[in-house]
Structure 1
């Protein structure tokens, strides 16, 4: 049975008496309280993010002839707006109604009207009734799914909403480096805001708890699942994607411990090996 998408969001984050025990996929709906969402763009810094990633995602999509894109983790709308500006047809989905409202507001300020859908990835095709050239799932969003079955179900839903030659672009933090105590994240590419600190407060094999500290003294947390790169690549292939290329901070070649983020580009098209 599909759990209901929550429309009533609490005013404050609440992880109970033992925050490290909270490892549920549905929790994200309560984590993104309005006060946190209002500060999210301070964390991203749209101008800084644009300078860091350049035309990477636009080029990846154009190289594959994609025109119609489903942004399944819209957040506050950064990538949806960038793609609209670049001439793509975009549908913006998110499981958080607070994020969707903020994204719509941000886009309108820049002269765009977002086509938005409130949807849970695990039942995406109950809410999304179309086929797309590309699905993007960015901002480390996929790590909100704590259960292996949830991740497989969500990927299958992404796969199903793609055309036969479609592509999925999904990113994740370099959790391998955190789990193996190789390096701390530098936030040079993804979280570019100068007035916020985003740091891991706890990391084990099934939980990465991050603390976000802002200059005004406010603090927020997110509990996420620490995806290992090889596990994620294997999961995509098991769902049916034929080819998976992985980039480190937008670079094709990289040292495993260095990137803050991995970006997986998974192609659905079946190609016979000659």
Structure 2
């Protein structure tokens, strides 16, 4: 099975539950201040979200006044993003593209490109990773800003935590439970997600499995510099604490064209 087919299969299966797994209110509280600060400091007006998923960043950044477009490989996630944008009274143009094709298809050039939520490690092999990063570079205006958010796989592999904190929410008769387990391999890391979605006492069980390339921070630096990015900065959370100062598994990278 090809990488592209696996990605389609995973996101098609989880699209209607993804926003339960990643509650928007929690994400906005965690990320909004970071984006306000860094986009303002870099005079950003236009943003391309290169893995827009169900549209969280499209909605948030549009509501903050930015000219925002999206890209995603999964038609099912794009359908959810379109629905979410409409619910918030917004519209953004979303390209159904592989990130490795964006610079040859999208004519517009942006002040900022982002790839959030551990999306970049769907790419396996240095050649594919480099192609994705280079395409992000090429759709930026001169001096443009790139923001990447992914797992710090060096930290994950150091600790080899098998289970990560589960998610439980209840709202009246609606109960959502997500349990996460990680399998560590030499060249891949597999996230197993058990979800229990209960409505009016009727539970629905699903198991979704997604494989990632455990790309190290050092490899990210190497490939971004090879693509032409300058001034790389590595943070471990959205408070912009420098990588390595706590036990966070988040990795946030900023760089300029």
**Are 2:196 and 1:207 equivalent residues in the alignment?**
no
Q: Secondary structure at the match of 2:108?
A: coil
Tell me if structure 1 keeps the 8 A contact 2:46–2:112. Answer: yes
Query: What's the C-alpha RMSD, in Å, of the aligned pairs?
Result: 2.1
Corresponding residue for residue 74 of structure 1? 52
- Identify the match of residue 102 of structure 2 among 114, 124, 127: 124
**Are 2:252 and 1:263 equivalent residues in the alignment?**
yes
Q: 1:205 to 1:58 in 2, by over 3 A?
A: farther
Corresponding residue for residue 147 of structure 1? 125
* Whole-angstrom distance in 2 between the partners of 1:79 and 1:102: 13
Corresponding residue for residue 218 of structure 1? 206
- Greater strand proportion: 2
Q: Give the CA deviation at 1:182.
A: 5.7
- Segments of 5+ residues of structure 2 without an aligned counterpart are 170-175, 198-204
Corresponding residue for residue 174 of structure 1? 152
- Segments of 5+ residues of structure 1 without an aligned counterpart are 1-21, 269-274
TM norm structure 2: 0.87
**Are 2:3 and 1:24 equivalent residues in the alignment?**
yes
Deviations 1:184-229 (A, max 9, x none): 6856xxx976434353431123111101111232111111111111
Q: 1:81 to 1:192 in 2, by over 3 A?
A: farther
Tell me if structure 2 keeps the 8 A contact 1:198–1:210. Answer: no
Q: Secondary structure at the match of 1:55?
A: helix
* Whole-angstrom distance in 2 between the partners of 1:97 and 1:109: 18
TM norm structure 1: 0.82
1:247-258 paired onto structure 2 within 5 Å: 247-250=235-238, 251-255=240-244, 258=247
* Whole-angstrom distance in 2 between the partners of 1:147 and 1:264: 20
Corresponding residue for residue 90 of structure 1? 68
Corresponding residue for residue 3 of structure 1? none
**Are 2:111 and 1:133 equivalent residues in the alignment?**
yes
Corresponding residue for residue 240 of structure 1? 228
Deviations 1:103-142 (A, max 9, x none): 0100110110121111111111232111100000101000
Q: Aligned residues, how many? A: 243
Shift >2 Å, 4+ stretches = 22-27, 181-187, 191-201, 251-257
